[in-house]
Amino acid sequence: MTSMELRQLEHFVALAEELHFTRAAGRVHIVQSALSTSIRTLERELGATLVTRSAKQVRLTDAGQAFLTEARRTLAAADAARNAVALVGGVLTGTLSVGYMPAPNSFDLPGLLNRFHRAHPGVNLRLRNVPSTELIEQVRRHALDLAFVSSPVPPPRAVQIDTLIRSPMPLACPVGHRLAAKTRIELGDLTPEIFIDFVSGWGTRVATDQLFSQAGLHRSIAFEVNDIPLCIKLVEQGLGIAFVPPEVAEANPQLHYLTVDPAPVWHIGVAHQQRQQMSAAGRTMLDLIETSLSPDLRSRNG
CATH code, domain carrying 210:
3.40.190.290
26 CB burial (10 A radius; 0-12, 13-18, 19+): middle
Neighbours of 40 (CB within 10 A): 13
Q: Measured between alpha carbons, how far is 52 from 19 in angstroms, rounded to an integer? A: 10
Question: Do 223 and 178 sit in the same domain of this protein?
Answer: yes
Q: What parts of the chain have a pLDDT lower than 50?
A: 1, 295-302
Question: Do 69 and 125 sit in the same domain of this protein?
Answer: no
The reply to whether 111 falls in a domain is yes
The reply to whether 165 falls in a domain is no
Q: State the pLDDT at residue 104.
A: 57
Q: Are strands 94-100 and 242-243 parallel, antiparallel or unpaired?
A: unpaired
Reported as a single tens digit per residue, the pLDDT across 177-203 is 999 999 999 999 999 999 999 998 888
pTM of this structure: 0.69
Q: CA 164 → CA 21, 42, 51, 64, 150, distances in Å? A: 36, 42, 39, 37, 10
Question: Do 135 and 273 sit in the same domain of this protein?
Answer: yes
Question: Do 71 and 98 sit in the same domain of this protein?
Answer: no
The reply to whether 17 falls in a domain is yes
Q: Measured between alpha carbons, how far is 186 from 25 in angstroms, rounded to an integer? A: 52
Q: State the pLDDT at residue 47.
A: 93
The reply to whether 164 falls in a domain is no
The reply to whether 110 falls in a domain is yes
Question: Do 297 and 225 sit in the same domain of this protein?
Answer: no
Question: Do 104 and 131 sit in the same domain of this protein?
Answer: yes
The reply to whether 179 falls in a domain is yes
Q: Show the domain range for 50.
A: 1-83
Question: Do 193 and 220 sit in the same domain of this protein?
Answer: yes
Q: State the pLDDT at residue 48.
A: 94
Residue 289's domain is classified under what CATH number? 3.40.190.10
Number of structural domains in the chain: 3
- 244: which residues sit within 8 A by CB, 6+ positions away? 169, 170, 172, 204, 228, 231, 232, 252
Residue 1's domain is classified under what CATH number? 1.10.10.10
Amino acid identity, residue 46? L
Domain boundary residue, one of 83, 109, 143: 83
Neighbours of 151 (CB within 10 A): 24
Shortest CA distance to 238 belongs to which of 170, 191, 179?
179
Question: Do 182 and 259 sit in the same domain of this protein?
Answer: yes
Domain boundary residue, one of 83, 115, 135: 83
Question: Do 257 and 290 sit in the same domain of this protein?
Answer: no
Query: Which residues are 160's β-sheet partners?
Result: 272
Question: Do 218 and 174 sit in the same domain of this protein?
Answer: yes
The reply to whether 215 falls in a domain is yes
Q: State the pLDDT at residue 41.
A: 94
Reported as a single tens digit per residue, the pLDDT across 55-79 is 778 999 999 999 998 998 888 888 7
Domain boundary residue, one of 21, 50, 83: 83
Question: Do 145 and 174 sit in the same domain of this protein?
Answer: no
Question: Do 174 and 101 sit in the same domain of this protein?
Answer: no
Q: Measured between alpha carbons, how far is 298 from 294 in angstroms, rounded to an integer? A: 8
